[in-house]
Copies of this chain bind each other. A is one copy, B any other.
């Protein structure tokens, strides 16, 4: 398997053949684009600027100046990243890619960069969709620090159900390290195969499960973070009330305060009992009310994903006016059918039509297969000049109807303005007792050569609508460089001052991921 330098995942897994034909025919039915295919440029043909720095002798073996390596680390994996790659538009590339073998290497790299005023971009799987790993600045050289060699599951404590894991481990390897113990982290973001524990922690990743433990934050027992001011290691504790929680400062710090090297993570027994169903609704308002009832029931479903009509049609093939709610329960310890039954009762109370479906053939299964292919399909669409991107937020239930209307309206207007026509979809990725996390998709015919500008215009419009409706600029995609204007308005002023001061204390030379979170 070879990783794609320009797009998602493995080259061999790209959408092609019948899958591509089927995808394009579905898109043709929805929009008026021409759907001409374009080939990605050969990575060797990119004329990258020469590195502006060279590493000291002792670190030379860790550092790569290979153009393909630098190109592959220049962007994250947002639609606008993929499109820029497809156009060979790599304005900012790291001068070097460094691969520390251990924490000592990392400390040495950080010392060198701090001394020489070189920006350091911590890099896990590089799956950022918010410009989090892009050296989008011109005032100094940049070294991308790829942590992929720190990839061990170092210790498993089966008594406390916790594991000490290095930050550079990718999802599948992490789970493989836990499986022999009958344990799982049970954190499956869509990027799971191509993102790392350290990346999840630094960006407050959201997993696949819809309720209870959604963000990675709650699964952290302790963390170890290398900063220019020293190594911060918190004590392994199941809970504490000793001052503000130290780990919470580093969770979501996006590489701007330090580089996470390892963490003790809370793990779980692997689920043995499962029950699932889908519920169809004739009316979206009723579907939302049913979803809210389940979210507030205290039943804690593993899946509670409301797909609106367009999302249901595109990704599960189900045609239904008001949407489909995918429900699933899982447990390692006890049967869950009673919980599903109670949740379905709540759905019926709101007019839902329940389908209990056999494992392997359910609407949820169909949806999950789509889910894992989505980033690959997005790339195929980008190559055919189709704008295909998502954005997400969270808000309280009382504001949802208004937010949904305002955001959908803003998205449709912007799509019309930049692309003529298109489709806007919505699903809930996570639901809380006090509100949902709506996740929107946009599909529209793009103009080859103009798609970044087209998307940026749509993104600005929806971000304004989200902010005006009281949503967060990101529930689980992080802030990076793309969300900064809205993040800066969302964040309380005194907190920004505190965070800036904390950054100055930890990173006095300001080398860590400049432009992320803090000016």
Contacts and interface: CB of A to CB of B under 8 A. Distances in A.
Interface string A306-330: 0000000000000000000000000
Interface in A221-260: 221, 225, 227, 229-246, 248-254, 257-258
Nearest to A241: B204
A430 B470 CA distance: 35
A434 B250 CA distance: 21
B232 A492 contact: yes
A215 B241 CA distance: 8
A253 B477 CA distance: 28
B334 A237 contact: no
A132 to B, nearest CB: 12
Contact of A221 (B231, B297, B396, B483): B396
Given A241-B476, A243-B499, A493 B230 contact: yes
A298 interface: yes
A266 to B, nearest CB: 5
Contacts of A499: 243-244, 502
Nearest to A499: B244
A157 interface: yes
B432 A239 contact: yes
Given A237-B395, A257-B498, A497-B506, A246 B161 contact: no
Contacts of A257: 244, 498
A299 interface: yes
A458 interface: no
B225 A239 contact: no
Given A160-B397, A297-B334, A517 B243 contact: yes
B243 A487 contact: yes
A231 B490 contact: no
A500 B492 contact: no
A203 B235 CA distance: 19
A470 B236 contact: yes
A394 interface: yes
Contacts of A478: 241-242
A370 interface: no
A130 to B, nearest CB: 10
Nearest to A205: B241
A117 to B, nearest CB: 21
A50 interface: no
Nearest to A295: B238
A214 interface: yes
Most chain-B CB neighbours within 10 Å: which of A238, A253, A258, A499?
A: A238
Most chain-B CB neighbours within 10 Å: which of A159, A268, A476?
A: A159
Nearest to A500: B505
B498 A235 contact: no
A158 to B, nearest CB: 9
A338 interface: yes
Contacts of A435: 160, 237-239
Contacts of A471: 237
A456 to B, nearest CB: 19
Contacts of A250: 244
A473 interface: yes
Interface string A275-304: 000000000000000001000111100000
Interface in A400-446: 430, 432-437
A433 B159 CA distance: 10
A366 interface: no
B232 A243 contact: no
Contacts of A266: 433-434
A252 B249 CA distance: 13
A106 to B, nearest CB: 15
Given A229-B494, A238-B437, A242-B483, 10 more contacts: A160-B397, A161-B434, A204-B241, A230-B493, A230-B494, A231-B492, A239-B435, A242-B252, A249-B498, A298-B331
25 contacts: A159-B292, A159-B398, A229-B493, A229-B494, A237-B395, A237-B435, A238-B435, A239-B430, A241-B472, A241-B477, A242-B478, A243-B479, A244-B249, A244-B253, A244-B257, A245-B251, A249-B249, A298-B332, A298-B334, A334-B342, A338-B338, A494-B506, A498-B502, A501-B505, A502-B502
CB-CB nearest 6 A-B residue pairs = A238-B435, A238-B432, A498-B502, A501-B505, A232-B492, A248-B248
Interface of A: 157, 159-162, 203-206, 214-215, 217, 221, 225, 227, 229-246, 248-254, 257-258, 266, 268-269, 292, 296-299, 331-334, 338-339, 342, 394-398, 430, 432-437, 470-479, 483, 487, 490-495, 497-502, 504-506, 517
